[in-house]
Amino acid sequence: MTHMTPGGDSPVSSRAPVTIGFQSSLDRSRLREAIGVRRQRLAEREADLVAACEKAVAHGAGRHIRLDDRTTWDRAAWNRYIETATRLEPAFMPDMLRLIRDIERLERLAALPAASQASAA
């Protein structure tokens, strides 16, 4: 049921139209900045995951194992690394995957032709 105003108009039709501001072109510098921020966050999350896995390798590692040289890692060291990565995946992956999706979405926007280029074609 539509309620009528004293003038006979419905309240919706008597309102001024809502306008949403829209820029004719995307701000490429802001898009690049947003992509850079997300890439940095992703790199930090990846580094945190690797650090946690390497910490597990260091725990119980023999003297012959050097964390900075993975060619010295034995099967037990690699197993600790993989087990830790698997255990931590639920804590790290949702955020990392969201960042990857955000980066891909922003890169698609940045790749769109500018409004002046599109109208010239």
**Domain contains 46:** yes
Range of the domain at 49: 23-111
Residue 13 has pLDDT above 50, yes or no: no
State residue 27's pLDDT score.
87
User: 71-98: per-residue pLDDT in tens?
Assistant: 999 999 999 999 999 999 999 999 999 9
- Evaluate whether residue 17 is within a structural domain: no
Rounded Cα distance, 69 and 60, in Å: 16
- The pLDDT tens digits of the residues spanning 107-118 come to 999 998 875 554
Answer whether residue 71 is part of any domain. Answer: yes
* Average pLDDT in the chain: 82
> Is residue 120 assigned to a domain?
no
What is the CB neighbour count within 10 angstroms for residue 93? 14
**How many separate domains does the chain show?**
1
Examine residue 37 and state whether it is found in any structural domain, yes or no: yes
d(CA 37, CA 3): 50
Pairwise pLDDT comparison (120 vs 110), residue with the higher score: 110
Q: What is the pLDDT of residue 19?
A: 44
16 in any annotated domain: no
Top-confidence residue, 7 or 42 = 42
